[in-house]
Each structure stands twice: as structure tokens, then as C-alpha cells.
Amino acid sequence: MVLPEDLCDRLSALAEQESRTVSNMAKVLIQEGVRQYEQIKASKTATAITNTERFRSALEAQESRRLRGAPRRMRIHKPS
């Protein structure tokens, strides 16, 4: 993989500040990025599950109501 020059310079500066090699600094930053990405994704999944459970609970809490009138039959039009 080839990094843009400005990104490579920034990575080199960070590595020097942390007394690490450039490759080790890249590894640390990638690991941290992947960890944060996985946490965000897990959080979104948990939120989706919570919303689904909330919706299901609201539906189950509703009173069942009877339909008004007799059910009507539907006619299916067959092509001639």
C-alpha cells in the first residue's frame, strides 16, 4: 500500500513523538481505528435491537380491536 506523502510525513512525526518505528506506529493506529470502528458498529446494532424491542412492546401493549362489519370478499379479475 502506498500512502500519500502528507500522510506519511504525519505518521513519521507521530512515530518520532512516541519513540516508535513508523511501521509500529501504523500498526498501533490501525488497531485503534479498527477497535473504534467495531465499537461504533456494535453500538449501532444494539440501538437497532433496542428500537425493534421498543416497537414490538408498543404493538403488544395495544388493545386488540374488532374490525367493523363483515369481511368483504375480493373479486379477482381474470384476463379474458
| Joined grid coordinates for residue 74 | 375480493
Task: Look at residue 63 and tell me whether its pLDDT is greater than 80.
Answer: yes
pTM over 0.85: no
Cα–Cα distance, 80 to 12 (Å, whole number): 77
What pLDDT, on the 0 to 100 scale, is given for residue 51?
82
Length of the chain counted residue by residue: 80
How does the average pLDDT of the chain come out, rounded? 87
Give every CB contact of residue 24 below 8 A, 6+ residues apart in sequence: 15
Q: Is the pLDDT of residue 21 over 90?
A: yes
